[in-house]
């Protein structure tokens, strides 16, 4: 297996409104704000990076934050605009799409249009809760949509979200791999500790062996986050935890610069450990760098973006 690896940076569509100015009043935010951030990554980052673009589940965010969040621009719309604005960019642009609230047939044309625009990589996102929120009905599963798209639009390269901390996740990924026809990209949840990920990979190898599946059709991109904020409760909630496993590494760091430096250092340690395990089991592995915050309240690029750039450069030097 090659030691080279793919590096993605998460570049979500911007919120349609955001707090700006001294009073932090909500104002309209143009879609170009996200494109400016993508250009920054391309102008300053290593050659060959790709992007993936998350889709916001308002029900999940409302449950986590206790209030309805502002709307983001549609991930498919954003990636189509981004493709046009970036001109000759030859890397991958991978929009995410939440697929559980409509039937397969209701969603098919959106995916078909995307493929016709030359965007042929997508990540399908499932339900945030086992039981749907009151008044909401789940109408499709990720497995059903994978099988449907593999049959109806075979030129698409399909992907899913991987949550290594979730119970029975190895078996879930094996089922999705089968539904996708034996080729699947996974965008992984970010790490706050490398050991659970290496334990998960052993379980993944076992699940594939039990089903007589070959791991060489699977690509796993491990999530690496930049923990820039002083209060890391935000990040812990994204993992559905009360605190981060790595909290001790950050609790005494007084500045955003120091927290970003530690994030880069820690993630390089994580990356080395999980890459070694991936080599051992024969799993193709890349990285999904997640700044998690791209803009400050005044609209300026957040320092976490520059931390993500530094991490991308370091990873590219280690595994060019």
pLDDT of amino acid 4: 56
- pTM for the full predicted model: 0.94
Give the pLDDT confidence score for residue 62 in this predicted structure. 67
Q: Tally Cβ neighbours within 10 Å of residue 174.
A: 20
pLDDT at residue number 63: 67
Domain of residue 171, residue span: 7-318
Residue 135 lies in a domain: yes
Asked whether residue 150 is domain-assigned, the answer is yes
For residue 2, being part of any structural domain is answered with no
Residue 63 to residue 83: CA distance in whole angstroms: 33
Distance CA 191, CA 234 (A): 14
Domain with 61 in it: what CATH number? 3.20.20.220
pLDDT at residue number 1 = 43
Angle between helices 142-152 and 104-116 (to 10 degrees): 50
Number of compact structural domains in the chain: 1
Residues 6 or more apart from 144 whose CB is under 8 A from it? 104, 179
Does a structural domain hold residue 1? no
Q: What's the confidence (pLDDT) of residue 2?
A: 45
What average pLDDT values come out for the chain (320 residues) when binned by 10 residues?
A: 74 90 83 96 93 88 69 95 91 96 97 96 93 88 98 98 97 98 98 98 98 96 98 94 97 97 98 97 97 91 98 93
Residue 93, domain member (yes or no)? yes
* Distance, CA of 278 to CA of 272 (rounded, Å): 10
Q: What is the dihedral of CA 152, 157, 158, 163, to 10 degrees?
A: 180
């Amino acid at each position: 297996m090659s030691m080279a690896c793919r590096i993605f940076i998460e570049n979500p569509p911007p919120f349609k409104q955001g707090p700006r100015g001294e009073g932090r009043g909500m104002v309209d935010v143009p879609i170009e704000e996200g494109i400016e951030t993508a250009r920054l990554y391309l102008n300053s980052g290593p050659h060959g990076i790709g992007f993936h673009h998350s889709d916001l589940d308002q029900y999940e965010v409302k449950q986590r934050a206790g209030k309805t969040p502002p709307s983001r621009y549609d991930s498919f719309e954003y990636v189509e605009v981004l493709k046009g604005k970036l001109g000759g960019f030859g890397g991958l642009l991978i929009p995410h799409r939440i697929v559980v609230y409509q039937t397969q047939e209701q969603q098919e044309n959106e995916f078909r249009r995307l493929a016709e625009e030359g965007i042929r990589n997508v990540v399908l996102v499932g339900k945030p809760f086992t039981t749907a929120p009151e008044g909401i009905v789940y109408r499709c599963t990720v497995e059903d949509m994978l099988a449907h798209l593999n049959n109806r639009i075979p030129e698409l390269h399909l992907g899913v979200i991987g949550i290594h901390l979730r119970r029975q996740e190895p078996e879930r990924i094996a089922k999705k791999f089968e539904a996708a026809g034996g080729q699947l990209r996974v965008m992984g949840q970010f790490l706050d500790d490398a050991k659970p990920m290496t334990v998960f990979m052993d379980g993944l190898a076992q699940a594939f062996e039990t089903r007589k599946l070959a791991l060489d059709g699977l690509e796993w991109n491990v999530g690496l986050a930049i923990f820039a904020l002083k209060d890391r409760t935000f990040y812990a909630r994204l993992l559905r935890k009360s605190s981060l496993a790595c909290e001790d590494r950050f609790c005494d760091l007084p500045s955003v610069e120091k927290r970003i430096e530690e994030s880069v250092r820690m993630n390089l340690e994580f990356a080395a450990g999980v890459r070694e395990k991936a080599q051992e089991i024969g799993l193709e592995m890349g990285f999904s760098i997640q700044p998690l915050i791209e803009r400050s309240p005044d609209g300026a690029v957040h320092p976490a973006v520059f931390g993500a750039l530094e991490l991308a450069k370091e990873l590219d030097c280690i595994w060019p």
